[in-house]
Structure 1
Amino acid sequence: MKYWRRNLYILMICQFLVLASMSMIMPFLPLYLQEMGMKNQDEVQLWAGIIFGANFFSAFIFAPIWGNLADRFGRKIMVLRSGFGMAIVIFLTGLATSPTQLLFLRLLNGIISGFVPASISLMSTNSPKEKVGYALGMLQSGAVAGTIIGPFFGGILAEAIGYRMIFFITGIGIAIATFVVLFFVKEEFCLQKEKQKSNMLADATRIFRQKQLPLLFGVGFLMQFALMGAQPLMSLFVSELGAPGGYIAFFSGLVASVTGVANMISSPILGRLGDRHGSERVLFFAMIGTAVFFIPHMIVGSVWKLLIIRFLLGLFVGGLAASLNSLIRKYAPPGKISTVYGYNTSATCLGNMLGPICGGFFSGLIGIRGVFLLIAVTLFVAAILLKIGLRIKAIQHGSDSALRAG
């Protein structure tokens, strides 16, 4: 474990670069489609949801495969595979000339993606157990810092050089981060023969028999489904509210950035609270707080008020992903940590895929403001399932122990 702190700081920086690069264009995807010649607003919303979710569809299928390979051959090599692959695909995305080409490249990107999950897996297995929550919180803070800077500078660059050039910048940024990992991150990993002979079906059976894990996968799905449901609609919502000076792209980036600022501040703090008092408690209250602060989105009347609400929302969002990942690390079978993270990535990717599609669909029926209410309800449901599910299992575990003692 002697390299864990150095790895943590390096991976924080690299996740910052990767997420900053990728998030420079994603918030403006509907506007990029309009630049391609798509004019009908309903059509733009539908295609934005489909293309945004396509990446997660292919990642949903391949994430457990990459996770299984990471357990067998190491996590660092999975970071490198993903980083260099995404750099090439996203660079090529800047050459797309139609929504169909953009859809194909997003699908391809999902197949080879996994930089962030592989980094999480590497840190969770190469950090002291009593520091896992803190380490994952710091990683999330670095990633979120990238999502802060990305949309902000993406908005500026979009106004100055257009959307297409940002894809080229994104590819270069991801390549730089991957080279940093290649030369400076060290992994403590022992290749064992039994891992080489690992059977994915047997591993899946073993994982899903650990009753807490399917519950956590389900909570992760609902969480991402809710959070991603409105993301591709935010630039349209800013336009609906009336961006000051007509700078829609700039204020769309700013709205995404203020949420990230709060997330970045709260993630390490909530990670440490999880190490001390239990990540399940932090995750439960973070989901409740996130749900509560989605409700004011329904009545907000200006971009400035929206910025305040999104900041308060981000303080609670900071406790979601790191707490969930810490709990998954806690319940993962020995030697199968990356495989478990792979299945969790599949669950969250399914939420990332269906969330934007359903958000785009329901926005056409009940409006963007109505979508915010659905998001709040979904998060409340996820929090209740987590609370009841873990409590029931704790009682069952206690009862089983009492019976064995008797």
Structure 2
Amino acid sequence: MVEDGASYWRRNLLIVWISQFLSLMGFSFSLPFSPFFIRDALGVSADSQVKMYAALATASSALALAVMSPLWGILADRYGRKPMLLRANFAGAIIVALMGMSPNITAFIALRMLQGLFTGTMSAAMTLMACCAPRNRQGLTLGALSAAVYSGDMTGQFIGGLLVEWYGFRQAFLYSGMAIGMSGLLVLLLVREDFQRPAPVIKTAETARNWHFKLGIVLSCLPLYILLMMSAFARSVDGSQFALFVEFLNGGVNEAGAARWTGRAAAAGCIGAMLSGLLIGRLLDYFRPSRVARTAALGAMLAMALIAIVPVHMLGMERVALDIGAFGLYFHDQAAPAVLALVPLRFMMIFFSAGLEPVMNVWLSKITPASQKGIVFGFAVTWRSIGWIFGPLAGGTISMLWGVEAIYVVGPFFFLALVPMIGWVLRKIRSRLES
């Protein structure tokens, strides 16, 4: 079966890929460094409060995203998918730029919540391309978009680590807004969508049956939604505390270079995610997705467990001098061996954990009619966001109670729990995948 717009899906994929790269790069110039921004620019000095506010800011954005995503999905099915992608980009550009002007922690958290209410570029792009690409190229398309997300994230975190050291945190938020705005302009000018708007709704018995039909489709996706939620929880449990973990391995608050090495370690993870999206997205069109998903969960579990062991046991070792040369440019830097050990392990952890996302997106797309993909992917974001709410809150709680390193002791068990869940979900949806 070929979905609408299939004649130009490759062109749209290229443009949306670049747009997502720019958008996620923009978000990553500043948001991953929120704990440092909260402490250094907003005047929150107590370590426990920094951890709490970092977790709260991340969770508040996810909560707002969870509430609004179904509405944006319904509007996408009603008015088109391209307008929703434009809304997410241009709203994100304005709100993220305003974050850099936050006078206090209350304003910053309020803007993070507004970001969740009005953005969501990834889900908007996924919905657009899921409706545009042929059925037998869904794995390639959605996997490629995942790669765009993580490669943009990688580039943004690497550059962002330098920007915050060179120009400060507030200026980094301004650059974030500019990059996201450029992404929106690209979509506005170059993305094509031949959307046929449905006829005006007249309240009749047929309308009620249509809403029952929509509700039935959403409820039939419930097993996948639960898996999405648990996967997002496992993947985000260290998200709000990762910068503080790098700072801990780097030697503490008084040791320079934490932001720079946070960007580098996060970038290594995003390289892994980018490669994972490209490889797994391609494999899903030819191999059994459930086996890919189980392997991904077990690999992420192992890598996260190694993070709890290897870098932590290298604390206190003498710092290493680094002379890096490339393309005629040379840099001199120093690094704690514990941070250097974290970089490849972070790559492994994100490489495997990112392999879960394309599997679930492809399953959702294949069991959903084209006319209902907006609402289905909208609710997918809601359930994913529930995981993003409780994951950072759980990570922040663990960090406050037992230290930031304890997250990597508890976290592997969350990935292990996904393995039996994948089999349960497959049994629930197998007949619809084969129809």
TM-score (norm 2): 0.87
Instruction: Specify the alignment match of 2:234 in structure 1.
Output: 226
* CA positional deviation for 1:233: 1.1
Partners of 2:297 and 2:419 within 8 A in 1: yes
Closer, same or farther: CA 105–276 of 1 in aligned 2, 3 Å: same
Q: Secondary structure at the match of 2:343?
A: helix
Instruction: Specify the alignment match of 1:163 in structure 2.
Output: 169
Instruction: Specify the alignment match of 1:404 in structure 2.
Output: none
Structure 2: gaps spanning 5 or more residues: 1-5, 312-337
Closer, same or farther: CA 23–50 of 1 in aligned 2, 3 Å: same
> In 2, distance between residues paired with 1:133 and 1:395?
19
1:3-402 → structure 2 map (5 Å cutoff): 3-35=8-40, 36-193=42-199, 202=212, 205-210=215-220, 213-242=221-250, 246-301=256-311, 302-391=338-427, 394=430
For residues 325-376 of structure 1, give each alpha carbon's deviation from its aligned partner in whole angstroms, at most 9, with x where no partner exists: 1111012245211100001100111111211111101112222232223221
Closer, same or farther: CA 191–265 of 1 in aligned 2, 3 Å: same
For residues 25-46 of structure 1, give each alpha carbon's deviation from its aligned partner in whole angstroms, at most 9, with x where no partner exists: 1221111011111110001100
Report the more deviating stretch, 98-107 or 193-202.
193-202
> In 2, distance between residues paired with 1:205 and 1:256?
39
Q: Secondary structure at the match of 2:193?
A: coil
* Structure 1 segments (4+ residues) deviating >3 Å: 194-204, 392-398
Partners of 2:59 and 2:393 within 8 A in 1: yes
Closer, same or farther: CA 182–195 of 1 in aligned 2, 3 Å: farther
> In 2, distance between residues paired with 1:96 and 1:206?
43
> In 1, distance between residues paired with 2:12 and 2:431?
38
* CA positional deviation for 1:159: 0.6
Report the more deviating stretch, 35-44 or 284-293.
284-293
Which amino acid counterpart does residue 388 of structure 1 have in structure 2? W
* CA positional deviation for 1:388: 2.5
For residues 159-181 of structure 1, give each alpha carbon's deviation from its aligned partner in whole angstroms, at most 9, with x where no partner exists: 11100011111111111110110
TM-score (norm 1): 0.93
* CA positional deviation for 1:288: 1.9
* CA positional deviation for 1:132: 0.6
Closer, same or farther: CA 100–397 of 1 in aligned 2, 3 Å: closer
Partners of 2:85 and 2:125 within 8 A in 1: yes
% of aligned pairs identical? 29
Partners of 1:294 and 1:372 within 8 A in 2: yes
1:2 aligns with 2:7: yes
Closer, same or farther: CA 218–195 of 1 in aligned 2, 3 Å: farther
* CA positional deviation for 1:319: 1.3
* CA positional deviation for 1:64: 0.3
> In 1, distance between residues paired with 2:244 and 2:60?
20
> In 1, distance between residues paired with 2:375 and 2:138?
18
Structure with the larger helix share: 1
* CA positional deviation for 1:280: 3.0
> In 1, distance between residues paired with 2:302 and 2:226?
21
Partners of 1:258 and 1:311 within 8 A in 2: yes
**RMSD between superposed Cα atoms in Å:** 2.2
Q: Secondary structure at the match of 2:403?
A: helix
* CA positional deviation for 1:120: 0.5
